[in-house]
A = this chain, B = another copy of it.
């Protein structure tokens, strides 16, 4: 008697947490960038390989992420964390006087990375896309947005981490598609939060990097 066996190796899915602010909170909704990453993944026949979890909370700054690491990230034992933060750290400076100093932004960002690394969790960083879509750098927060993006790029390099450079992707897209130098309506609804095209662009940029992540 011959017994034919097909081995189904029940491979554990790679669990990915998207860790961020209101943009990521909305990203978990229908049409949001996390849902779109999930769809891309399924369309490419990899639905059994990845699991996507949103962990975005409106108004969050880098130190808010640090405060809720244990409960919202580490407790869920992810294999990978995508950090997408920075808009409120810059924006709240002028809207309520409660933004984050550049040096402290870097310190808390590194502290988050250190704790994830200690658990051997893979990490992908993102630059904050936009507060205003004008392409001549005349959006009020462009100076800080460029500087805080520079900080994240440096952190990625120093820690040898993958980077989704959303700020660059948004600027490149707007240079091609925003000839009237509008401050919203191309990739965002309100200068910050993503419309359908914005969610799609973020999803595409992230999915490219997720697939390559070792």
Contacts and interface: CB of A to CB of B under 8 A. Distances in A.
> What copy number does this chain have within its complex?
4
A50 interface: no
Contact of A150 (B95, B101, B138, B150): B138
Interface stretch (A41-49, A140-148, A194-202): A140-148
A64 interface: yes
A203 B179 CA distance: 35
Interface string A93-135: 1111111110010011001000000000000000000001000
- Indicate the size class of the contact surface on chain A: 20 to 34
A140 B143 contact: yes
Contact of A137 (B94, B104, B137): B137
A139 interface: yes
B136 A142 contact: no
A146 B136 contact: yes
A209 interface: no
Contact of A147 (B67, B107, B138): B138
Contacts of A136: 146, 150
Contacts of A147: 138-140
A107 B67 CA distance: 9
Contacts of A66: 63, 66-67
16 contacts: A63-B63, A63-B67, A64-B104, A66-B67, A67-B107, A67-B111, A92-B101, A93-B94, A95-B95, A95-B96, A97-B99, A98-B100, A137-B143, A141-B143, A142-B143, A143-B144
7 tightest CB-CB pairs across the interface, nearest first? A142-B143, A93-B97, A138-B146, A138-B147, A137-B137, A63-B63, A140-B143
